[in-house]
Amino acid sequence: MSVSQQIAKHFRELHFGGNWTYSYLKEHLADVTFEESVTKVYDLNTIAALVFHINYFVVSVIGVLQGGPLEGHDKYSFDHPPIRSEQDWKNMLDKLYQDAETFAVLVEQLPDDTLWTILSEEKYGSFYRNLHGIIEHSHYHLGQIVVIKKIIRQNLSSAPVQ
């Protein structure tokens, strides 16, 4: 298995299971309702905002993997469309999983020597650094999602969390 294929496998496992941590997005998001996804806990981001944020950078790099420029800006990475229904939430999750598979397929196809070349601009570093950065970033926010979900569910019978 090539290095690119290993990275793609690791990325898929983060989304769909089988990773070293036994914790993955699809598992933890499967039972989150749309109301929970937009529930504000303290001054933390909502689960929906975190899901969008995770996928925002994946989509940005998909563009580069397809031969385009890097088109993503941190300032827009939490600007998700409104989630007003279960269908809106389902659509966001469907997009997350579809984009994850697209990303993984494109990474699998990368020649290993491309991993050591610059992604877009020198300041971003190599493809290797960015692909692993996306995985690390997603695991970090997955941890936040898990904690926020627990807080929301522990507070269901008490006063609203603000």
- Measuring CA to CA, which residue among 70, 61, 68, 52 is closest to residue 11? 61
Residue 14 has pLDDT above 80, yes or no: yes
pLDDT band at residue 156 using 50, 70 and 90 as cut-offs: low
Instruction: Indicate whether 102 belongs to any domain.
Output: yes
Both structure tokens of 78: 């939490």
Phi, then psi, of 126 in degrees rounded to 5: -80, 165
pLDDT band at residue 8 using 50, 70 and 90 as cut-offs: very high
pLDDT band at residue 22 using 50, 70 and 90 as cut-offs: confident
pLDDT band at residue 18 using 50, 70 and 90 as cut-offs: confident
Instruction: Indicate whether 121 belongs to any domain.
Output: yes
Q: How many domains does the chain have?
A: 1
pLDDT tens-digit map of 40-89: 999 999 999 999 999 999 999 999 999 998 888 778 888 899 999 999 99
* Other CB atoms within 10 A of residue 82 CB: 8
Instruction: Indicate whether 145 belongs to any domain.
Output: yes
Instruction: Indicate whether 58 belongs to any domain.
Output: yes
Q: What CATH number is given to the structural domain containing 17?
A: 1.20.120.450
**Distances in whole angstroms, Cα of residue 112 to Cα of each of 3, 59, 90:** 6, 21, 35
pLDDT tens-digit map of 82-128: 999 999 999 999 999 999 999 999 999 999 999 999 998 899 899 99
Range of the domain at 50: 3-154
Beta-bridge mates of residue 118: 126
Q: What is the pLDDT of residue 99?
A: 98
Q: What is the pLDDT of residue 20?
A: 84
Instruction: Indicate whether 160 belongs to any domain.
Output: no
Instruction: Indicate whether 127 belongs to any domain.
Output: yes
71 vs 161 pLDDT, higher one: 71
Instruction: Indicate whether 40 belongs to any domain.
Output: yes
Instruction: Indicate whether 144 belongs to any domain.
Output: yes
C-alpha angle 128-45-77 in degrees, rounded to nearest 5: 45
Q: What is the pLDDT of residue 160?
A: 57
Instruction: Give this prediction's pTM.
Output: 0.92
